[in-house]
Amino acid sequence: MRGVEHSTQYLDQLPPPAPITLHTTLPRDVADFTGRTDELARLLRAAEEGQAPVVTIHTVDGMPGVGKTALVIHAAHLLAGDYPDGQRFVRLGTHTPGAAPADPAGVLTQLLLSLGISPRNVPQSLEEKAGMWRDSLTGRRMLLILDDAASAAQVEPLLPASKDCLVLITSRRRLPDLDGASPLPLNTLPPLQAADLFIRVSRRTPTASDRSAVTQTVELCGHLPLAITLLAARLAHHRAWNIKEFTDEFATAQDRLAELEAGDRALAASFDLSYQHLTPDLQRLYRRLGLNPGPDTGPYATAALDNIPLDTARRRLNELYAAHLIDELAPRRYRLHDLLRTYARTLAQQDPSSDRGQAVTRLLDYYHHTARTADRYLSTVPHQDNAAVPPSTTAPILATRGQALVWMRAELPNLLAAAHHSATDRLPHAAALARTMAAFLDQEGHWAEAIALHQAAVHTAHTLNSPDAEAHAVLDLGWVRRRTGNSPEAGELTQRAYDLYHTLDNRLGQANALRALGLVRQMTGDYREAAQLAQRAYDVYHSLRIPVGQANALLDLCRVRRRTSDYQEAGELAQRAYGLYHSLGNRLGEANALLDLGWVRRLTGDYLEAGELAQRAYGLYHTLGNRQNEAWALLELGQINRDTRNYVAAADLLERSRARFHELGDRKGEAEALTAAGDLQAATIGPEPALATYQQALTLARLIHSPLDQAHALEGIAGCHAVSHNHREAIQSLREAIALYQRLGVAETARATDYLKQLKTALHESADRGRGKEPQR
């Protein structure tokens, strides 16, 4: 209740109340009333609820211009016949320009006079007037509308006691302290209803292309009824204007708020009235919220933005929410309607530029500080972070990986917006935020966002002549390019990052770049160089005494050895990596090592241990919320079940893996899952569906320049053709696969070569049969 008292105290400073406007008949109905079916039905049920033992009260609250009064008047016209003793419409004038809210005592005087009571008989005190009003309505069926209420304290004395009366109250404020009232929060119109409103008010019959323009226009109006009505009314009075040209003009307007006016009505003026009822502290906060580059805010970010304590931020956000100047999307998550955001940003331009800059810098510092804390629990790549980050005013406690994930997921849109804002304004926060978000974006599969983010960070760091930040950003961009299958660009970027680190004599950066370059070489099948790069990275990590880096490099080397069929060494490397991760308490690293060890065990025929290891890895990934690596564990479990002929389970696991990779945009993972699914289909349901699946895998593998994945898919395609007795096509596909295997120097070469000999023999025998010859025995 402190917030309400605070507002009431401030209202005491406003000018004297305006003359009270009371109508004994309803104002005219809105001719173009559109939509609000559900809300209207709820109010119309009020007539039935009027049989309850107490007076029925409905409060309709919402932001300026949302159509509260229009809804209530429309409902009242439909209900008027149920209240034969009359209707009273009272404008309480809370948002009347130049006037304070109506005084309840004065309103009661007018209400009593409207009943025919002589002025001589109207009591003096508020309590006596309220009592006479309630007594006078006993046994009467009356509909009372109290429009634009300031507070529960203002309307409480005006409420009748008769159960046969209905009271409809509109307010820009929420009135939670009005006992017995049924609240009806009014939101903006749904898109279709908003478009219908524009069409009705504009008095036009739109074409199909016009409808598309109208849809875009009402979206730019934020689906706010007043904004739509003002804009459409202008069009209605200019019959020569074309809908498409008019809406295009609005879409490109520099100041859309200025466009939203008709005659003496303007949306900005409506917003002004709500803004003027705020205390100076709330006005300042509201202006600063307009500076927030993100789509929403919470108490911590608000505290940083306005440089206020956390409790104060919570309280002031609640006040703005109560005034319908911000919406609450989720507990403690607030946003401004797009037009209110524009309005707040316009107001903020009146503040000194230094104040605006400091407010935004505090917000960016908060995001960087907290994201860096979260990154410590998420990143698997070691890095030095010597940048001094001013401690934020307040920050949430992030003490576990789970807490870090929850915060990053909730704040992702704001972090991205903050980083791009920083890039636009050429602030160092662009590269700093990108770096702290890199691991999260990678693990969650937000690669499109990551590419845009890191590209902006590279450009900003280069512009600011910050080679260290540029090296980090280039390396992160190269990492994502590899993830999304662009190995040529990934290699170029990673080499560029290494060169920058070398110039800076940053040995840790060099090690990270060597390791990343080795991963690119793995993808392109250059296994000898991949092994050399992983070993070089390991040596640097070892010299710097960075065990997590050593473990990462060992696991990279394990994967190279597995690819080249050195299974014994691969298993030993995975076990060494696991030991290091375990000693560090690095559960993600443990899961990675377990999965790789399980992969080796499957390839050596130890399916029991392979299944146990893969299942343990999956459990850890699931606990850690790592959806990316969950997909790899599902793929491995699917292959284990396929190899052990548990075909139903294998099909389910492989499809779950493929779907997850596809959802995350991991084209390499999806290609591998498709090839594994093709192998399963070839063994169970026949060559035709398997051929289609292999071809999908081949398309993806070629797209991402992965020769090993191409070869695997081609070998599968060859098998399908062979089963269908298309031996020439089979031989052609297999020759392509063998050429790739030979270039890569992998063990699959011998197997594929033997298979090719079998296919050639089958082709010759088929040809002999076609010529009527007996095949050689």
Determine the Cα–Cα distance for residues 550 and 588; give it in Å rounded to an integer: 15
- CATH code (residue 125): 3.40.50.300
Residue, of 704 and 581, whose pLDDT is higher? 581
Nearest to 484 by CA among 451, 510, 526: 451
pLDDT over 60 at 634, yes or no:
yes
- CATH code (residue 282): 1.10.10.10
DSSP string for residues in 46-60: HHHHTTSSS-EEEEE
Residue % of the chain over a pLDDT of 70: 92
Least confident of 2-16, 67-81, 305-319, 533-547: 2-16
Close Cβ partners of 529 (under 8 Å, ≥ 6 residues apart) = 518, 521
pLDDT, mean of residues 193-207: 89
pLDDT over 70 at 577, yes or no:
yes
Which pLDDT score is estimated for 9?
45
Nearest to 370 by CA among 391, 400, 384, 387: 391
- In the block, tokens 């875009």 appear at 216
Phi, psi of 25 (to 5 degrees): -125, 160
pLDDT, mean of residues 278-297: 96
Least confident of 220-234, 534-548, 645-659: 220-234
Residue 252 lies in a domain: yes
Instruction: Provide the 3-class DSSP secondary structure of residue 466.
Output: coil
- From 472, 499, 523, give the residue that closes a domain: 523
Determine the Cα–Cα distance for residues 509 and 511; give it in Å rounded to an integer: 5
DSSP string for residues in 347-381: HHTTS-HHHHHHHHHHHHHHHHHHHHHHHHHH--S
Nearest to 582 by CA among 543, 562, 609, 554: 554
How would residue 506 be classed by pLDDT, with cut points 50, 70 and 90?
very high
How would residue 22 be classed by pLDDT, with cut points 50, 70 and 90?
low
Which pLDDT score is estimated for 46?
65
Beta strands 143-149; 166-171: pairing state = parallel
Determine the Cα–Cα distance for residues 740 and 279; give it in Å rounded to an integer: 73
Which pLDDT score is estimated for 774?
42
pLDDT, mean of residues 549-553: 98
Instruction: Provide the 3-class DSSP secondary structure of residue 558.
Output: helix
Contact 310, 271 (CB under 8 A): no
pLDDT over 60 at 424, yes or no:
yes
Residue 27 lies in a domain: yes
pLDDT, mean of residues 550-560: 97
Residue % of the chain over a pLDDT of 90: 65
How would residue 105 be classed by pLDDT, with cut points 50, 70 and 90?
very high
Burial of 171 (0-12, 13-18, 19+ CB in 10 A): buried
Instruction: Provide the 3-class DSSP secondary structure of residue 338.
Output: helix
pLDDT over 90 at 60, yes or no:
yes
Helix axes 667-684, 647-664, angle to 10 degrees: 160
Q: How many CA atoms does the CB half-sphere of 623 hold within 13 Å? A: 11
Which pLDDT score is estimated for 32?
84
Close Cβ partners of 588 (under 8 Å, ≥ 6 residues apart) = 380, 401, 620, 621, 624, 626, 629
Tokens of 142: 């009356």
Residue 407 lies in a domain: no
- CATH code (residue 466): 1.25.40.10
Do 96 and 171 fall into the same domain? yes
Tokens of 569: 């060494």
Least confident of 344-348, 442-446, 543-547, 767-771: 767-771
Do 261 and 293 fall into the same domain? no
Do 78 and 168 fall into the same domain? yes
Do 317 and 224 fall into the same domain? no
Residue 612 lies in a domain: no
Query: 418 to each of 131, 457, 618, how far by Cα in Å?
Result: 57, 12, 34
- In the block, tokens 């009366």 appear at 165
Tokens of 55: 């007076």
How would residue 18 be classed by pLDDT, with cut points 50, 70 and 90?
low
SS3 string, 468-480, reads HHHHHHHHHHHHH
Cβ of 767: how many Cβ atoms within 10 Å? 12
Do 82 and 180 fall into the same domain? yes
Contact 71, 36 (CB under 8 A): yes
Which pLDDT score is estimated for 50?
54
Determine the Cα–Cα distance for residues 593 and 574; give it in Å rounded to an integer: 5
Which pLDDT score is estimated for 646?
96
pLDDT over 70 at 772, yes or no:
no
How would residue 603 be classed by pLDDT, with cut points 50, 70 and 90?
very high
pLDDT over 60 at 1, yes or no:
no
Nearest to 89 by CA among 106, 65, 69, 105: 69
Determine the Cα–Cα distance for residues 323 and 312; give it in Å rounded to an integer: 17
Determine the Cα–Cα distance for residues 222 and 721; give it in Å rounded to an integer: 57
pLDDT, mean of residues 665-681: 93
Instruction: Provide the 3-class DSSP secondary structure of residue 170.
Output: strand
Residue 671 lies in a domain: no
Do 95 and 157 fall into the same domain? yes
Residue 744 belongs to what domain range? Answer: 676-777
What would the pLDDT profile of 714-725 be if each residue is shown by its tens digit?
Answer: 999 999 999 988
pLDDT over 80 at 53, yes or no:
no
Do 142 and 173 fall into the same domain? yes
Q: What is the mean pLDDT of the chain?
A: 89
- From 358, 377, 404, give the residue that closes a domain: 358
pLDDT, mean of residues 599-608: 96
pLDDT over 70 at 232, yes or no:
yes
Do 250 and 287 fall into the same domain? no
Least confident of 3-17, 303-317, 424-438, 738-752: 3-17
Close Cβ partners of 385 (under 8 Å, ≥ 6 residues apart) = 372
Do 25 and 112 fall into the same domain? yes
Cβ of 29: how many Cβ atoms within 10 Å? 13
Cβ of 387: how many Cβ atoms within 10 Å? 13
Helix axes 547-563, 527-544, angle to 10 degrees: 160
Which pLDDT score is estimated for 390?
61
Which pLDDT score is estimated for 19?
55
Residue 397 lies in a domain: no
Do 94 and 138 fall into the same domain? yes
Domain count, the chain: 5
Nearest to 466 by CA among 502, 494, 427: 427
Determine the Cα–Cα distance for residues 378 and 412; give it in Å rounded to an integer: 14
Determine the Cα–Cα distance for residues 591 and 605; give it in Å rounded to an integer: 21
Which pLDDT score is estimated for 51?
56
Determine the Cα–Cα distance for residues 144 and 155; give it in Å rounded to an integer: 11
- From 314, 332, 358, give the residue that closes a domain: 358
Contact 183, 171 (CB under 8 A): no
What would the pLDDT profile of 350-391 be if each residue is shown by its tens digit?
Answer: 999 999 999 999 999 999 999 999 999 999 888 876 555 566
pLDDT, mean of residues 668-683: 94
Close Cβ partners of 234 (under 8 Å, ≥ 6 residues apart) = 262
Phi, psi of 205 (to 5 degrees): -110, 100
- In the block, tokens 């005087």 appear at 109
pLDDT, mean of residues 438-465: 93
Do 207 and 181 fall into the same domain? no
Residue 755 lies in a domain: yes
Residue 364 lies in a domain: no
pLDDT, mean of residues 485-497: 92
- In the block, tokens 């009371």 appear at 22
Which pLDDT score is estimated for 24?
65
Residue, of 210 and 566, whose pLDDT is higher? 566
Residue, of 276 and 15, whose pLDDT is higher? 276
Do 9 and 147 fall into the same domain? yes
